[in-house]
Amino acid sequence: MAVKITGYETHDIRFPTSLTGDGTDAMNTDCDYSAAYVKLFTSTDLTGYGLTFTIGRGNDIVCMAIKELANRLLGKEVEELFANMGMTWDYLSADSQLRWIGPEKGVIHIALGAVGNALWDMYARARGKPLWKLVVDMTPEELVNATAFRYITDAITREEALEMLKAKAATKAEREARVKELGYPAYVTSAGWLGYSDEKVARLTKEAVEAGFNHFKMKVGADRDSDLRRGKIMRSIIDDPQYLPSGHKARDPNSPELVGKNAGPTGSVLMIDANQVWDVPQAIDYVKSLAEIKPWFIEEPTAPDDILGHAAIRKALKPYGIGVATGEHAHNRMVFKQLLQAEAIDVCQIDSCRLGGVSEVLSVLLMAAKFGVPVCPHAGGVGLCEYVIHLSLIDYIAISGTMERNVLEFVDHLHEHFLYPCSINKNGRYNVPSNPVEGYSIEMHQTSIAEFEWPHGSYWVNARAKA
């Protein structure tokens, strides 16, 4: 008997990270890391899990949008959906009345990310593979059929994508073995939140160096003098060989994976992130004034939809050796298409659930590979690290074929709430997810849901009682 989708549940889950300053930046000063979480049920015990990340209020609105989209899957046979995930993505995004309140942006689109990811999670579980393995084991034709191509064929056609994938197919097994052995390169943001004291920044930076990381990101944009001071604190630690882990040698700043990144004498790299706080002229002036801390790139220097603004900033900062990165708030593949076409970015930062799920992510990975721009996904939020390691593995093994200059964000928050949390090895690299039942690694513990669901979870009930 065919397996059909029979129902769903949504959960509004919020964690009180604003109490400790986790996640704070120049734009977002009051972050409660939150998940609009969905479970898709079938006529068997096969279940799919997905979420979209928010920072608190409004999470309930996303859950309402998830319900509207999940309704479109009720009664559908799962194998028919799995057979062509690109077509399934088109179907999920095609309800004309729901589409009107996007289209393909805002609440309705990040809700699509949760539902689409839950369906991909179900697909991987049905095949007994982690999500990344499901995708890299696809033939080039299957992977193209799983990708969302509408509105981007002026940048990459299905035929071009197929040729790119075929060119990499014969060597996929070599790259898979290599990344399993080494792990995937990571960078750390946890030391650089704006809400932390100088002492905490220094302590966390030392701990990150000791853990094997050599790429570090710092939030900027609230106060220039403070940014310079904090940047110099971080530089004084990451550039000093005395803090390197025992047995670790300094990396060569001129090696192929580090050249052009403003790496210091130990091979360590500093990045800065403004979270959209500036107008274009402000961004140029401000970042020039931070040139002495030698950042590799400035992330989100201005409004995330301003393609030409990013291009102007990139052109102005190029003489200073500082690049431009963005993408965490780029709400669809068309924004990425234009950023790439306009030569507006040096680093492409996809978000696993602001984009509408894996099928749309694949389209951006393919475009970035064609344009030769490295993909360094955004992962600052609950569940995003669990998600994005799968996406970076897909990019390296099946699409771009390179991870030498790529680094994947790692934030050490809230992993304990997931059944299959991501992990980092002693060299500051992500371990490859290997459990055949974990799917997209986003299933949460029921105890965490019971404690942190808004507004009736035990944590929030107790917090109101104490108020």
**Residues labelled catalytic:** 219, 378
**Which candidate, 384, 348, 420, 362, places its Cα nearest to that of 136?**
362
Q: Are 89 and 117 in contact (CB under 8 A)?
A: no
Element (H, E) at 408: strand 408-410
Q: Residue 251 has what DSSP assignment? A: P
If 0-12 CB within 10 Å is exposed, 13-18 middle and 19+ buried, where does residue 429 land?
buried
Pairing status of strand 347-348 against strand 408-410: unpaired
Q: How many residues does the chain have?
A: 467
Between the alpha carbon of residue 188 and those of residues 15, 77, 146, 178, 213, the distances in Å are 21, 41, 31, 22, 7
**Which candidate, 214, 216, 186, places its Cα nearest to that of 201?**
216
Q: Residue 410 has what DSSP assignment? A: E
Other CB atoms within a 10 A radius of the CB of residue 197 amount to: 10
Residues 6+ apart with CB under 8 A from 439: 48, 49, 120, 121, 122, 124, 125, 130, 131
DSSP letters of 120-157? HHHHHHHHTS-HHHHHHTS-HHHHHHTS--TT-TTT--
Q: How far apart are CA 216 and CA 447, in angstroms?
A: 33
Q: Are 208 and 407 in contact (CB under 8 A)?
A: no
Q: Are 279 and 285 in contact (CB under 8 A)?
A: no
If 0-12 CB within 10 Å is exposed, 13-18 middle and 19+ buried, where does residue 1 land?
exposed
First to last CA, the chain: 54
Other CB atoms within a 10 A radius of the CB of residue 198 amount to: 11
Element (H, E) at 449: helix 446-452
